[in-house]
Structure 1
């Protein structure tokens, strides 16, 4: 993906909302008026709330106003994702019945934002054109990381982090996003799995090793950091968060197993974390779809140019955000 194409307009199905990379978010909410997610509210969230924690179901909350007029964001510490609204426009990933995510597992492709456009099918190295979730594998030395999200989000991250550091990227070699196979049930592979994990379903990809190509399954306890209401996951397959097992029933929102940083390129990892948070598409309140669109258009991605003044504003915001001390996510 050419870095000049990262300014994509992602249409939020069954609304007039549009999500873009680098958007600051905010604005009014809209009700989703059709499809499998009808009745949910979409939009209104800002990039200030883009970080969740290492726990699936994190990244939701609301603003409250005190008697003196002070407005403050309060995280929702409930980790169950069932019946959630989508403040940034994107529903959470689904790991089967894990932590309430079962209702998102079989949602029609046309009801999900950022899905794979038909002309991109040839780029999918694993899975098929009806894939709802894609992965970007990022290898540094003997370390491999994965970013799991919808196609447009993964491609946006791919384009930005592939740029030189001087241009706001992480100097990474571009990758081809992999369509993820769904339905790898943890209990079928591990008879000693806790009862609450037996029906947890992961996403499967392939990994080259000295022994050849092996199948790799990614589960919610492999996630170092969730973003955008648990709709984007930054994963290390070698990480195992003990607090995320047994159906995610440990209710300590902030709890996670310490990540072993031995041998890890921390500056590169920090760059990835900060860039993901700054770049991933969220609802842009300045863009509204006013014409009637076909279902295919709503389900797909419209590649367009953002006005020069918006690009300048985005560039200024991005560079300022990168200069600030970003939240440490692992």
Structure 2
């Protein structure tokens, strides 16, 4: 019976650790349905490692392209869409056909802007991190001296944007807000191509401000262009803007190193125990219960034998007394 609490404690630890991992800032990018190859995209990750190639599996739309290997030091692009690629810049007039250095797809702006239609809403169902969303970034607690009209939005996949909102609330005192679907082709869209202040992560994530108007954005045909309308002074010297940029650069989720192969005895035993550890503990618990039951039964049988012997002795003595009475009274 003493082993039962150990089994229960093990179950509790398993449940608690699973809950903690569920809240980690990471998600998986699956690139194959045959063997379920996947890589982890994680907040605060350093990135790096070797490049992978997407296999030709079940007609995946981007089979044959390289992805991963980019690190956090190359995360920042410019104000030009298509900037921020650390490798794969073959044709500077388009982002079509390019690799995914950080594991995520570039933004979609509609009207096949710089070839971005191939990453459009028709593929939202398999976009890593979920469909494109936007979240407004406001602060009202007085930590920063916000100038009139200074407001920002982040644009990116749902999981990255949601995680960044959590980080920005913590670090930059941003007022919490939920994401809304980003549709750049809608006339009611609050964020447009010319509002982007900064691109990150191979143009898969952006910081924008409705108060900024980059007149070069719509007509640009070169992803390497450095031509853009200067950012206004109230944003350029804003501590709030600086905080947002710094946190995005440090925390934005990017793809981790590929997992190391597990070929050592220690790794193998760890995996085996990780899979079978709980059944083993349960088995030990049951074996202990059986042993305790056998010992208890043996002790009970011993007590029963002693009780039977005592009663038998008492019966013999009583019978002897009766025979003695017969001799005393002939």
TM-score range, shorter chain: 0.5 to 0.7
Counting matched residue pairs gives: 226
2:114 aligns to what SS in structure 1?
helix
Change (3 A) 1:48 1:86: same
Q: What's the CA shift for 1:111?
A: 2.4
TM-score by length of 1: 0.62
1:136 aligns to what SS in structure 2?
strand
Compare relative contact order (CA 8 Å, sep 6+) and give the higher one, 1 or 2. 1
Instruction: Select the residue among 46, 53, 61 that pairs with 1:31.
Output: 53
| Structure-1 residue corresponding to 2:135 | 136
TM-score by length of 2: 0.62
| Structure-1 residue corresponding to 2:102 | 88
Q: For 1:263 and 1:85, how far apart are their aligned partners in 2?
A: 32
2:45 aligns to what SS in structure 1?
coil
- For 1:246-261, list aligned pairs within 5 A: 246=219, 248-249=220-221, 253-261=225-233
More strand by share: 1
Instruction: Select the residue among 228, 235, 238 that pairs with 1:266.
Output: 238
Say if 2:162 is the partner of 1:155. Answer: yes
| Structure-2 residue corresponding to 1:276 | 248
Q: What's the CA shift for 1:182?
A: 4.9
Q: What's the CA shift for 1:229?
A: 0.4
Q: Deviations over 1:79-125 (max 9, x none)?
A: 5211010010001001120011111114523421111xxxxxxxxxx
- 8 A contact 1:18–1:288 mirrored in 2: no
Q: For 1:288 and 1:10, how far apart are their aligned partners in 2?
A: 18
Q: For 1:77 and 1:271, how far apart are their aligned partners in 2?
A: 34
Q: What's the CA shift for 1:149?
A: 0.3
Q: For 2:184 and 2:160, how far apart are their aligned partners in 1?
A: 18
| Structure-2 residue corresponding to 1:321 | none
Larger radius of gyration: 2
Q: After alignment, is 174-183 or 81-90 more displaced?
A: 174-183
Instruction: Select the residue among 97, 114, 125 that pairs with 1:99.
Output: 114
Change (3 A) 1:244 1:22: same
Q: What's the CA shift for 1:181?
A: 3.2
Q: For 2:236 and 2:217, how far apart are their aligned partners in 1?
A: 23
RMSD: 2.8
- 8 A contact 1:13–1:32 mirrored in 2: no
Q: For 1:288 and 1:88, how far apart are their aligned partners in 2?
A: 18
More helix by share: 2
Q: What's the CA shift for 1:232?
A: 0.3
Say if 2:210 is the partner of 1:237. Answer: yes
